[in-house]
Structure 1
Amino acid sequence: MDLRALLTTHVKLRHLVIVLTVAEQGSLVRAAEELYLTQPALSRALREAEHAIGAPLFERTARGMVPTPAGEACLEHAKAIVGHLSTLRRRVEELADPASGLVKVGAHVTGANLLLPRAVARLTAEKPRVEVRLREAPPETLIQELGNGDLDLLVGRVTEHPSTARLRLVPLYREDFRIVAAPWHPAHAMPDVTLQDLADQRWVVPLANTPLRDELEQNFRNAGLAPPAQQVESGAPATVRTLVVEAGFLALMPESMALAEPDVKIVDLHLNGLAQQVGLLLHPDRPLAPSSALLAEKLREVGDEMASELAVRALPSSEVPGEG
């Protein structure tokens, strides 16, 4: 890295903030209002940013301010730089006051029901003044927010997938996804139930373009079947649960979640490839602030315990300590 060359750059942090705000608002007028600037001042600052970077960054269109290819590249790096600076500020604040802090963690279904709540409870018991902000959203949204610095870490399914290619993945434990239904669902009465028996049932399926959805559909294709024609797509646990319990849908749930939910019952059919690694998803080169690092430590502790619990559950009853 040529550090001396960076001393002469004309790109300033304010330029990056302006570019990010214009892209977010899609309008110079709204961006000026957001930054408490006059529109002429904002326009002048945007021209300075384009001159410093060496290319036009936005086009004025009927849909508002649209980033050029150079603008898209600038935005990608600006988000990373601003995210790093935000984390740096919080690290310094926590070094000055180690008892306080802020942790911003995202979760998508997997790990959100047991792993994350248990770890957060331990963190806040040890550091009562730490504020924890939990964010649940579709995986692609959480990954984007992690990249932007809006989140410190993610908890969820750890798998090799294009969406996670740029992240650092830390597996904690492994468990199966199981098909679940309401206790009264006819699937439970089917002898030697097969996927063909369930193909015509109503399903609530994972979000499109996620590893879990891809693997579910692959199971149907491998069985010579089309994916269920009557389906609802949802990644919201509360919605999935209600559709299963009240409307008779089939769905996929992590085994630990299904066993902890009294109003659902696991269907006696294992699908291939639906075992999951649960773990941490981290930005590859952004260090964690102290409180976030402590939460990661608690997640590892709880993950080890859950791995042991799941291993015992998988043993035949005659081999479980204290059983038989």
Structure 2
Amino acid sequence: MSLPIAVASRLRVRHLALAVALDTHRSLRRAAADIALTQPAATKLLHDLEDALGARLFERHAWGMSPTPHGETLLRHARGILHDLAQAHADIAAEREGRQGSLRVGGVTGSVPTLVAPAIRALRERHPRVRIYALVNTSEVLLEALRRGEITVAVTPRPPDDDLAGLETRPLADEPLTVVARAAHPLARRRAIALAALAGATWIVPPAGSPLRRDFDTLHAAAGNRPPTDLIETVSIVATLALLQATDALSLLPLGLARHYEAPGMIARLAVPLTGAGTRYEIMTREGRGLAPAASAFVDTVAALAQRSG
């Protein structure tokens, strides 16, 4: 899809920078200062942008400004374009310094030990001069960062309520889930424990709406349990591990993550059969955006690791 020449000839990077600054500050005066313009110059720049696109992009209020639906659409693309330009500048600077570019990736906590970290290690072995930034967060945060152009690749389960508009996905193999507790937990030596018997336990779980919480609720429903109510909610693996070690609480983790922390004796996996339970990770990138060599190599490595482990 090509941009009409009449529009392309009028648009400048500064137009996009102003739109993003307006969304950030919701004030024309502060947005103008942010991109080193006078307020009258920013007013004219916004008028030119709206005129070029043929749509009102921001509503004016007594308290400031807010994007219209057309403005929200522009902002979605503008952030990506500005991040792409910043990435191009960083890559060129890296090449001039003898480095091999940069890569910004993201993953949920469960994907880090088995997919993200090994892929980064393999990439660095082949391309030691690549600069890598890794964001670890929830699926929702990762996909928002991906859409905004703040990361290039995300390794994450598909959020339950996300339509994945503007993204390309590559499903990977399912990773089993397992119930964990502190290493000296009274249940750690039991050979077989039914999930139905654990409904009254204290559980450390991610917040409602997350993929792992969805799996947690589905497993208990399949076991005939009412939704457990004695819950501690956190997205932090550090908090989860600390709470597991300090209490008799239980948690549900992807198998690779559980093994990672079981090896040094921090937690124990309990013998709770979870038939059919698994986390489906996917590699996600922005739709229609070509990948730089480092990003492409990272994606291929993650896919190969998932295939071997699956």
Secondary structure at the counterpart of residue 105 of structure 2: strand
**Contact 2:92/2:101, CA 8 A, preserved across alignment:** no
- Superposition deviation, residue 94 in structure 1: 7.1
Give the aligned partner of residue 164 of structure 2: 165
Are the equivalent residues in 2 in contact too, given 1:106–1:153 (CA < 8 A)? yes
Deviation at 1:21, TM superposition (A): 1.4
- Contact 1:55–1:70 (8 Å) recurs in 2: yes
Work out whether residues 91 and 102 of structure 2, in 8 Å CA contact, stay in contact via their aligned partners in 1.
Answer: no
Q: Which moved more, 1:199-208 or 1:50-59?
A: 50-59
In the TM superposition, what is the alpha-carbon distance from 1:7 to its structure 2 partner? Answer: 5.5
In the alignment of these two chains, the number of paired residues is 306
Give the superposition deviation at 1:253. 1.2
Alignment partner, residue 306 of structure 2:
303
Whether 1:76 and 2:79 are equivalent positions in the alignment is no
In structure 2, the CA distance between the partners of 1:279 and 1:93, relative to structure 1 (3 Å rule), is farther
Q: Which amino acid aligns with 2:45?
A: A
Q: Judging changes above 3 Å, is the alpha-carbon distance between structure 1 residues 38 and 4 closer, same or farther for their aligned structure 2 residues?
A: closer
**Deviation digits for residues 82-135 of structure 1 (CA, Å, limit 9, x no counterpart):** 344445556666787884211001111122123222221222222222110011
Change (3 A) 1:63 1:275: farther
Query: For the structure 1 residues 73 and 156, does the alpha-carbon distance in structure 2 shift closer, same or farther, using more than 3 Å as the test?
Result: closer
Partners of 2:271 and 2:129 in 1: CA distance: 46
- 1:267 is aligned to 270
Question: Which one-letter code corresponds to 2:39 in the other structure?
Answer: Q
Q: Secondary structure at the match of 1:32?
A: helix
Of 279, 283, 287, which residue of structure 2 is paired with 1:280? 283
TM-superposed deviation, 1:223: 3.6
The 3-state SS of whatever aligns with 2:112 is coil
Contact 1:177 1:255 in 2 (8 A): yes
| In 1: Cα distance, 2:80 partner to 2:294 partner | 21
Which position in structure 2 is the counterpart of 1:37?
A: 37
Shift of 1:221: 2.8
Q: Which amino acid aligns with 1:77?
A: H
Q: Deviations over 1:33-84 (max 9, x none)?
A: 3212223322332222222223332234466422122222221232343344
CA contact (8 A) 1:86 1:149 kept: no
Aligned pair in 2 of structure 1 residues 270, 191: CA closer, same or farther (>3 Å)? closer
Deviates more, 1:137-146 or 1:224-233: 224-233
Question: Partner residue of 1:199?
Answer: 199
TM-score by length of 2: 0.85
Contact 2:106/2:151 (<8 A) preserved? yes
Q: Write the distance in 1 (CA, Å) between the matches of 2:289 and 2:38.
A: 34
Q: 1:279 to 1:48 in 2, by over 3 A?
A: same
1: CA distance, partners of 2:273 / 2:64: 50
Q: Secondary structure at the match of 1:163?
A: coil
Contact 1:59 / 1:68 at 8 angstroms: preserved in 2? yes
Within a 5 Å distance, the mapping from 1:1-324 to structure 2 comes to 1=1, 4-6=4-6, 10-61=10-61, 64-86=64-86, 99-157=99-157, 159=158, 161-163=160-162, 165-166=164-165, 167-188=167-188, 192-261=192-261, 262-307=265-310
Question: For residue 156 of structure 2, what is the amino acid of its counterpart?
Answer: G
Q: Tell me if the contact between 2:104 and 2:152 (Cα under 8 Å) persists in the aligned partners.
A: yes
**Is the 2:22–2:65 contact (alpha carbons within 8 Å) kept by the matching residues of 1?**
yes
Q: What runs of 5+ residues in structure 1 fail to find an aligned partner?
A: 308-324
Percent of pairs with identical residues: 28
Aligned 8 A contact 1:215 1:273 in 2 = no
Judging changes above 3 Å, is the alpha-carbon distance between structure 1 residues 15 and 201 closer, same or farther for their aligned structure 2 residues?
Answer: same
Q: Letter of the aligned partner of 1:302 in structure 2?
A: L
TM-score normalised per structure 1: 0.82
For residues 6 and 141 of structure 1, do their structure 2 counterparts lie closer, same or farther at Cα, with a shift above 3 Å needed? Answer: farther
Secondary structure class of the residue paired with 1:114: helix
